[in-house]
Chain A
Amino acid sequence: MQDLKFSMKAEIYRMVFDTSIEQFVPEKYSIPVSLCGEGRDSLLYDSTTTSTLNIPLQKLDTISSFVLTTTIQVDTNYVTTIDTIDFYHTNEQEFISLECGCIVTNSLVGVAQTTNRIDSVVIVSPEVNLQSGNNIKIYLSQR
């Protein structure tokens, strides 16, 4: 039986100062990240340099917790920081067909995170399904 897998899409941003408008504006931030589900051994990303993440939410639980490890350059040093993000969501199970089996679509209702490197996490599109684009934006601080 095939299994249709949806995953939440996340983009990593940092705030940079735009001198032309004299304001901080978000900019996509491609950095080495490691990501794994809390309590899981298997890494979803292993020091992968990227600004976009595909994050599998739990199908059978309504809280999905992840450990995000980021490495950024501060001055001349590389600093690795560990954060935890908890996603609160609802799950809807739907039988598609005998071949494809059952799919689960998630709907994000909230998010909580530590703020070691993460500044904030914003839900931009709560429905996690085949059609949805980017679901969340993760803003990192550069302290």
Chain B
Amino acid sequence: MLSIGNCLNAQFSGMGGTSNSSSSTDEERPPKPKVKQFRGDVFRGLSIHADIGSPIISLLGGNTRSYELQVDVNLYRRIFPIFEVGYATAEKELISQINYNTRAPFFRVGVNYGLLKPFKDDETSRNVKSYPFVGVRYAFSPMWYNLENIVLDDEYWGTSEVLSFNNQFAYSGWIEVVGGVRVDLFKGLTMGWSVRLKTLLHTTAPDKSHVWYVLGYGKSSGMGFMFNYTIGYTFYSGKDTKETK
């Protein structure tokens, strides 16, 4: 044991790693002062975007159509509260030839967080007009849906009837985790890409399968994944347009 201890002491002394010598190194390199990122004007701009990805995907075929607009506010060039509104339709023949169709609006509220710091380490301002972001949303859809062509068999009595349950109402809500990029193409003409991972939190429908497709969410049976490609315009606040890169 003694020999191992001597060995270890010799190894540390060889590295010059005593506690006294390391503290003297810290004194030579003082920690950098943290650059305050949230300062200056709060309001830095407003963006209005339309999703063009979903309508294009709808044109390629499928059972759903979705159109949506996004409005976000730029705060400190870092925080972007966002409101999204959309209108969608879905129609599908489910198992046993049951026809499901619905059309309704959906809404999302949340916030994006820009991953680029508005101020560099040397305190100079960075012109954050194109930036990657992450965000969260709470979304909901008050939807009316129709279930048609439901065959009701009375086996014992040998009778059968085709039923429809129209104008059924369900309020469904879900959360989304969003990641994406916003790019300033030319003097406020902006476009963005985002991917979303969604999970359904609640629905007033008696059973999830009542609402095969929750508008704005997707198939109610599992987690949702969505890709948005948006294009729009950003109105920067006057001060922001003068900042240099």
Is A60 within 8 A of B96, CB to CB?
A: no
Which residue in chain A gives the minimum CB-CB distance to B159?
A: A60
Least distance between B44 CB and chain A CB atoms (Å): 49
Please encode chain B, from 150 to 166, with 1 for each CB lying within 8 Å of some chain A CB and 0 for all others.
10111111111101010
Q: Is the CB of B94 within 8 A of A98?
A: yes
Number of interface residues of B (CB under 8 A): 24
Contact with A along B167-209 (1 / 0, CB 8 A): 0100000000000000000000000000000000000001101
Interchain CB contact under 8 A, B158 and A60 = no
Main secondary structure of the interface of B (DSSP, over half): mixed
The answer to whether A60 and B161 have CB atoms under 8 Å apart is yes
Closest to B157 in A: A58
Tell whether, in the assembled complex, residue A98 and residue B98 are in contact, meaning their CB atoms are under 8 Å apart: yes
A58 and B212 alpha carbons, distance in the complex (Å): 30
A96 touches B96 (CB 8 A): no
B95 within 8 A of A: yes
Q: Is B139 an interface residue (CB 8 A)?
A: no
The CA of A11 and the CA of B212, in the complex, are separated in Å by 42
CA distance A93 to B154 in the complex (A): 12
Q: Which residues of B contact A95 (CB under 8 A)?
A: 147, 150, 163, 165, 168, 210
Assuming the A-B contacts A59-B159, A60-B159, are A104 and B207 also in contact, with contact meaning beta carbons closer than 8 angstroms in the complex?
A: no
Interface residue A133 (Cβ < 8 Å from any Cβ of B): no
Tell me the bound Cα distance from A60 to B157 in angstroms.
9
Query: Are the C-beta atoms of A96 and B206 separated by less than 8 Å?
Result: yes
Nearest 3 Cβ contacts at the A-B interface: A97-B207, A98-B209, A59-B154
Selected A-B contacts with CB under 8 Å, 19 pairs: A1-B95, A1-B96, A40-B156, A56-B156, A59-B154, A60-B152, A60-B154, A95-B147, A95-B150, A95-B168, A95-B210, A96-B206, A96-B207, A97-B207, A97-B209, A98-B94, A98-B209, A98-B212, A102-B150
Q: For window 1-46 of chain A, which residues contact chain B by CB distance below 8 Å?
A: 1, 3, 37, 40, 42, 44
Interface string of A54-69 (1 = CB under 8 A from B): 0010111100100000
Complex contacts, B94 vs chain A, CB 8 Å: 98
Contact status of A37 and B156, CB under 8 A, knowing A1-B95, A98-B98, A98-B209: yes
A97 to B155, CA, bound (A): 19
Q: Which of B96, B154, B157, B212 contacts A101 (CB 8 A)?
A: B96
Query: Which residues of A are at the interface with B, using a C-beta cutoff of 8 A?
Result: 1, 3, 37, 40, 42, 44, 56, 58-61, 64, 93, 95-99, 101-102, 104
Q: Are A42 and B150 neighbours in the complex by a CB distance under 8 Å? A: no
CB-nearest residue of chain A relative to B161?
A60
Whether the pair B157, A61 counts as a contact (CB closer than 8 A) is yes
Nearest Cβ distance between residue B124 and chain A, in whole angstroms? 60
Chain A residues contacting B154 (CB-CB under 8 Å) are 58-60
A40 touches B96 (CB 8 A): no
A33 to B142 Cα, complex, angstroms: 53
| Chain B CB within 10 A, most for which of A37, A59, A96 | A59
Contact of B152 among A40, A59, A61, A99 (CB under 8 A): A59
Most chain A CB within a 10 A radius of its CB, from B95, B157, B168, B210:
B157
For residues 19 through 41 of chain B, which have their beta carbon under 8 Å from a beta carbon of chain A? none
Residues of B contacting A40 with CB < 8 Å?
156-158
- From A44, A60, A64, A101, B150 is in contact (CB under 8 Å) with A101
A112 to B159, CA, bound (A): 23
Q: Tell me which residues across on chain B come within 8 A of A102, comparing CB atoms.
A: 150, 152, 163
Q: How far is the CB of B233 from chain A (nearest CB, A)?
A: 44
